[in-house]
């Protein structure tokens, strides 16, 4: 694994601590899209010297974040290579339907040392046990292989990790995520940790965060 990606994953596992999900008007939901996007942007600020959000790719498409450790890299200049290209999507339905064929492609198109995709999948009881999460990851692994062939000259050997937050429990008072990463289309995930949130004494709070 490329050292830049290894460092990212190590730091992410030990220090990423997203805020309590938004409960919605009903106070029974656990909505993460806006809250965790803000948490991720703040986390990137503390670990990288140069960050460009909405980095232009092609055809008016944009990468969620281009980052470099050095503070001296002008990421507005496209001739400067980024350390990491990062794309995320918290809506599990969007991830299942078209993240693999659209947003995931950007990690192979830009000039970068390595790439990271961060997604949410779900198997929680609110919708019943579903195979959607496994099907989502299988699809992303297939796209990884397809894009390596399509962009063989520029990105065929690029290290790319898919970080999966799998929602395994969802009730009006508790939610739990198990996280892992999949490297370069591998069929063997590496655990990252668990994030648990619950209503305690009338307040929403993180009740547990543990590593793998």
Phi/psi at 120 (5° precision): -105, 135
Res 202 pLDDT > 80: no
Res 49 pLDDT > 60: yes
Over residues 93-143, the pLDDT tens digits come to: 999 999 999 999 999 999 999 999 999 999 875 555 678 899 999 999 999
Over residues 169-193, the pLDDT tens digits come to: 998 999 999 999 999 999 999 999 9
Give the orientation angle of helix 3-15 with respect to helix 33-47, to 10 degrees: 120
Which one-letter DSSP state was computed for residue 96?
I
Confidence at residue 98, expressed as pLDDT on a 0 to 100 scale: 94
C-alpha 212/C-alpha 210 separation (Å) is 7
């Amino acid at each position: 694994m490329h050292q830049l990606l290894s460092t990212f994953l190590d730091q992410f596992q030990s220090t990423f601590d997203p805020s309590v999900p938004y409960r919605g008007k009903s106070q029974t939901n656990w909505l993460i899209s806006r809250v965790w996007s803000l948490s991720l942007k703040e986390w990137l600020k503390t670990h990288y010297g140069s960050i460009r959000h909405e980095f232009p790719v092609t055809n008016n498409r944009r990468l969620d974040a281009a980052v470099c450790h050095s503070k001296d890299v002008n990421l507005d200049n496209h001739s400067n290579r980024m350390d990491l290209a990062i794309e995320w999507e918290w809506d599990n339905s969007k991830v299942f339907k078209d993240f693999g064929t659209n947003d995931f492609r950007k990690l192979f198109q830009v000039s970068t040392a390595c790439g990271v995709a961060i997604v949410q999948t779900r198997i929680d009881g609110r919708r019943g046990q579903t195979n959607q999460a496994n099907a989502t990851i299988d699809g992303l692994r297939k796209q990884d292989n397809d894009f390596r062939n399509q962009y063989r000259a520029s990105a065929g050997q690029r290290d790319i990790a898919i970080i999966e937050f799998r929602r395994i429990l969802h009730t009006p008072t508790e939610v739990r995520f198990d996280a892992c990463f999949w490297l370069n289309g591998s069929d063997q995930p590496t655990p990252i940790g668990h994030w648990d949130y619950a209503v305690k004494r009338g307040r929403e709070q993180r009740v547990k965060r543990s590593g793998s």
